[in-house]
Amino acid sequence: MAPGKTAPRLLQDLLTYDARYEERAGRNLLTSPPPQHDAKGPAVAAVPFRNCRHGLFTKIEQSQLPAVGAEPDRDTTYKVAAYCTKCRWHVDVVVGRRNEAAQNEACGKANPGYPLHHFLYEGEDNASSTHGLGAQLRPRTYTFRCSAPACPVDVRISMKPPRFSDHDIETLTNQAQLRRRWEAAKLLAGDRADANMARRVDSLDYLNTYLSDSLKPTKGKARIPLLNKKFLKAFGKDCDAVLIGLGFTSDTEEDNDGTVTQVWYLPKPEGPKSALDSTLRNVIEDARYELNTLILNMPESEREGCRHTPLYPTPSRGDIERILACADSDAKVKGRETRNTEEDHPYYASLGAVGDFDDALILFAFSRQGTVDIENKAYYFECLQDLATGRESEVLGTEVAMLASQGFVSKRDTERAYQYFSIDPVHASVISDEHIIGQFKARLADISPLQADEARRQLRVLGDVRNSDSIRAEASGAIETYEQAMAWFDLDRGQPDDFVQTMFLVKTQDNPACQETAQKALSIIAETRESDRLRRFLKFGSMTEPEMDLGDAYAAFQVQDRSAELDLAVLRSGLLDQEGPRMQQAFNLIEQDQIQRFGDKSHEPSRPEPRRNNYPLETWPVGLRNIGNTCYLNSVLQFLFTIKPLRELILNCEEHLQDPSPEALKDKKVGRMAITAERVVTAQKFVRELRAFYNRMITAPTDTVQPAIDLASLALCRTDNPGEAPSSANVDVAESAGLGTIDGAAISGPMLPPSDDANRTAPADPTTPADSVMNDDGGPQSDDSPKIMEGNNDDVPPAPTRDPPPIPPRPETKPAMATKTKIGRIEESALQQDAAEVMSNIFDLISCAMHGEGILREGEQDDAIKKLFYSDVTTVLETAEGTQKNQELRGNFMVTTGRRDRSLYAILDEDFGKSDIEEERGTRYDYIERAAAIQIINVKRIQYEKRQQQPVYDHSHISLDKTLYMDRYLSKTPTLDEAQLLELRQAQWSKQRELRDLDARRTKLQTTGIDGMNLPDCLEATSEFIDDLLAENIEQQEQQQAAQDSLPTPPPELADTLHDKAKHLAKDLEGMDSIMTTLEAEIESVFRDCQDVPYRLHAVFTHRGDVKGGHYWIYIYDFQNNCWRWYNDDSITPIVESEVLDPETGKRPKVSTGVVYIRADLVEELTEAVCRRPEPVEEEAHKDVEMQEADDDDDQMPDLHWGDVQVIEGVEKE
């Protein structure tokens, strides 16, 4: 059953309901349940801003009001007929009683259990009688009944549009039409016509007089000749429709002289009847009330000489309150006269209450809503909880506590339980119980025993909310049935025995403590299936492995459609070497199947590019082909293309290009560096290349396009003349051209430049740590420079810079050839940069190419790039000498994860939080003075491990929120000033200090100097060694009678002591991650209510690989079409949000290297993911035309011979 509303809430909604805008608002304010309030979601206005806040006045002639002191009986019906002086709509509120014996006790002051009516919407009369344009102005009648079991009261609310439409008023009062009417009157009546044109008020005044006369018929006033001076000039012949609609009739009469004259007759309404009847008299009365409002709205100067006598009816609110029995609760409801102009908190509307209710009436409203709408009981309990807190009510707080003890759960707690298991509460209705249990089991394997109880408690909440016995059973940890046993292994009923065996091994290897439970579950499955193989495995630990079939082969490569033709070359590139023979066997089976069904096409000539998807070209973004291991450049270009103002700036760049003359460049600074004319020329060449490429992305008649070599060269090479080789003859590059693997697969990513011998190919060294897409720019320092190894130099205060942060040392290098082709230089540049550096270089090029829009601090040029991407950041240094503030512009924020899974908030909190400056004996923290509309957050994934003396790759997962609230990082917000935010930060810093201390202790326990062993492991190994030594000495003493050369015997209790200490430290270490996670949650909760400045997630730069190499792609959210897409070079496919945000398992999972957030109120203005206007394809042209280098005599590649061709992606031209 749907929720209801108390009588005062019904009245408040009636006073703000506007039928004209119901369709646009998307809901009926009077009859629809209010939207459930979500504090984290976008704010929803309680009343659409267009709605009329009605000022209702009683039409006493049509009303039937209760007599003073009279008690209603079963036959009593009350009616308040009202009209609004603002929108001129008419409202009838009729209160009656059902004649049922069981319902004989009306709500009100005489009924303590039901002090107010609580109305439920029953339906609408003739709801589908009018469609199309007239539907908004149709009359409508809504029926409500009181939900109290013994209350017989019904309410009918009728809404009727004005008797005079806007067109009617325009016809009667438009001066141009009045002038035409007067001119026509002079032609028709000649000298008998009035000498003066009618005023705007005259037609309204005359019509009001005629209608007044019709209500009080007088002999001689029922007839109006057309040629009447006043009638002719005010109404003429073009107001007939208005007059007929009011009941006027016309006819012709013959005068005494034989002249035929047209005559109008006044309406002839019936005499006064019951107020409950609808008659012509009501129509005329409604028209008079509307004319009264229209005339009084005219300026007083225009109303001079009018015969109109103003009507001053009484306001209707008090009458409506009386018939709805709102007045019975006057002792508890106060100040209601302003409720239609104010907005209560949404929780009041959800409970069907108003903000003026006292605690007793709030509890009454909660009780009624929970009774009639059981499905949303949790939400109503949440409303009561928050109102108790907001009103600081002891009565409500006590009631909330009592209800919670009785098992009531709020919607918020329910959502937290879902979110605890990484389930979006929005999808709760379609998520199965098995999925929830699976999430619980997955989490249970990765948490400490201390957290297991919390996980079961959250699961129990979901079991109660969903009324699921299987979830409750899982929360209690019992395995008794076959379904429970299969669910414990995360398997469906139909999975074969081999999967059961595999999951048994996985479960017991990950968590040896669950061995007994796993055996019990396996035993239940084996007996239920009567499987001898599972019984044999349970007894002996092995069973015969079945042969791989074709379905298993396709499943191994995650191919869902076995009927589709596959590209075997692509499939081969994804072959995972470390999975050995099984994956090779799977590939061989697929290759045989594909050749049998589609033929061997390995020797066929190249064909026109096939369609990559089934989407119309104009509705889908274009993919970018890889031209030299530039997967990350493609990701950057795709992201920048979706930024609408930037794309339009590039497409119209000629209007904004910088004058390269010395005079114009005298004061130009980009990145605090003076810009030379050469830099401007290079930058403008890049911008023009980018413009041509973006035009191609928009108009290409294919699914993919290829970036020009010049575009890639200019974007990747940090020099003012990318067409030339670097000035240094000794360019350090890694020895090997091997890029490493993704889970063992060869990487088609950026490559190293050629070796010294141009005519031979150096063998790939899979151990060379040359991360071609993740390493930072080297610069002139040697790789073992202390500054690079240490990271930042604390002697120098942080200052703005456009260069990326320092990097870990690279492997041993050797000189490369000084002369390279353009492709070779692109490869070399690709080796040394990642997406963040490429984007920074592109931003610099665009700023250098365009003229500025002003001057910022330190002479920095202000331009579109600064406005869109750069934030003004203040760093506060607190030392013994005092407080110092440094300001800088940042185009992105570089953060690290701390080598563990964390939320983005936790990472940013640490980055902006207070930290120690050891050498200066002080502290520092950051905040944003002015936040850019687009926030780019880059994640440094390669860290230098000092102990191992080599770089390591950080695969930690960063959990991203769809909405990031930036309040905590700003200097001030719309609701909090600087002092208030600083107070919150200080509360957070104290918890962060505790977190750092715990992290230091954790690091101490994890670091021992022995690879792969932490301190508990070392102690346990030492204990085992001493045990072995004791046993060996005892054996020697028995054999040699205490030989003199035997080793000293340690104390027997030492091994046990070390073993106990190892167990104790292992338990401490195991619980530290959960404690740190809890601390991070507490740190995040400090700013939980700060949600004034939301940013929406737009893009996620993603990388899969390690320090040896990998592959880039990007996920981009389309705000116009509300979908995520996966941009993987030339492939663009839709993807579900969970695939983007959820962590991936495996040895080398994908990780985010950069995320982009857009200010929530500007997402539609700043982003447009799809901008396509494909050109028609000519009949004779069946293939895409690749973009070539622009003709440039100064940048011409020499004629190539086969001996000069570079080795690209490991394949040499035959």
pLDDT for residue 949 = 67
Q: Is the pLDDT of residue 819 over 70?
A: no
Cβ contact 184:197 at 8 Å: no
Question: Tens digits of per-residue pLDDT, 478-491?
Answer: 677 888 788 778 78
Please check whether residues 745 and 844 belong to one and the same domain. yes
Cβ contact 657:849 at 8 Å: yes
pLDDT for residue 1036 = 67
In a domain, 129, yes or no: yes
CA atoms of 680 and 666, how far apart (whole Å): 13
Please check whether residues 144 and 172 belong to one and the same domain. no
User: Among 61-65, 1005-1009, 1153-1157, where is mean pLDDT lowest?
Assistant: 1005-1009
Percentage of residues in the chain having pLDDT higher than 70 = 79
Q: Which of 277, 303, 329 is the last residue of a domain?
A: 303
Q: Is the dihedral of CA 1165, 1166, 1172, 1173 positive or negative?
A: positive
Please check whether residues 279 and 415 belong to one and the same domain. no
Average pLDDT over residues 1151-1174: 95
pLDDT for residue 608 = 54
Q: Is the pLDDT of residue 1037 over 70?
A: no
In a domain, 494, yes or no: no
pLDDT for residue 826 = 54
Q: Which of 449, 478, 507 is the last residue of a domain?
A: 478
pLDDT for residue 835 = 67
Q: Is the pLDDT of residue 1180 over 50?
A: no
In a domain, 525, yes or no: no
Please check whether residues 845 and 755 belong to one and the same domain. yes
pLDDT for residue 1015 = 83
* HSE value, Cβ hemisphere, 13 Å, CA-based, for 478: 8
Q: Is the pLDDT of residue 536 over 70?
A: yes
In a domain, 818, yes or no: yes
In a domain, 514, yes or no: no
Mean pLDDT of the chain: 80
Question: Tens digits of per-residue pLDDT, 704-759?
Answer: 998 888 888 888 776 555 544 444 333 333 333 333 333 333 333 333 333 343 33
Question: Tens digits of per-residue pLDDT, 897-944?
Answer: 888 888 998 899 888 988 888 666 788 999 999 999 999 999 998 887
Please check whether residues 201 and 221 belong to one and the same domain. yes
Minimal CA–CA distance to 973: which of 1024, 1016, 928?
A: 928
pLDDT for residue 927 = 94
Q: Is the pLDDT of residue 1101 over 90?
A: yes
pLDDT for residue 1038 = 58
Q: Is the pLDDT of residue 1141 over 80?
A: yes
Q: Which of 1166, 1183, 1208 is the last residue of a domain?
A: 1166
Question: Tens digits of per-residue pLDDT, 948-964?
Answer: 667 888 889 999 999 99
Q: Is the pLDDT of residue 414 over 60?
A: yes
Average pLDDT over residues 555-564: 76
**Biggest alpha carbon distance in the chain?**
161
Please check whether residues 893 and 847 belong to one and the same domain. no
Q: Which residue has the higher pLDDT, 445 or 634?
A: 634
In a domain, 212, yes or no: yes
The total domain count for the chain is: 7
CA atoms of 687 and 646, how far apart (whole Å): 11
Average pLDDT over residues 603-616: 67
Please check whether residues 75 and 202 belong to one and the same domain. no
Q: What are phi and psi of 414, to 5 degrees?
A: -65, -45
In a domain, 295, yes or no: yes
Please check whether residues 16 and 117 belong to one and the same domain. yes
Tokens of 49: 């801003």
CA atoms of 395 and 360, how far apart (whole Å): 8
Please check whether residues 800 and 816 belong to one and the same domain. yes
In a domain, 677, yes or no: yes
Average pLDDT over residues 419-434: 85
pLDDT for residue 814 = 37
Q: How many CB atoms lie within 10 A of CB 965?
A: 21
H-run or E-run covering 145: strand 140-146
Please check whether residues 340 and 361 belong to one and the same domain. yes
Please check whether residues 192 and 241 belong to one and the same domain. yes
Tell me the pLDDT band of 1041, cut-offs 50, 70 and 90: low
Question: Tens digits of per-residue pLDDT, 1045-1095?
Answer: 555 677 777 878 888 888 888 888 878 878 888 887 887 788 888 999 999
Burial 835-866 (b: 16+ CB within 10 A, else e): bbbbbbbbbbbbbbbbebeeebeeebbbbbbb
Give the domain range for residue 192: 166-303
Question: Tens digits of per-residue pLDDT, 342-367?
Answer: 578 899 999 999 999 999 999 999 99
> Identity (one letter) of the amino acid at 94?
V
Question: In residues, how long is the chain?
Answer: 1214
pLDDT for residue 913 = 87
Please check whether residues 673 and 787 belong to one and the same domain. yes
pLDDT for residue 604 = 57
E strand intervals along 753-899: 813-815, 854-855, 861-862, 871-879, 882-890, 893-895
pLDDT for residue 756 = 40
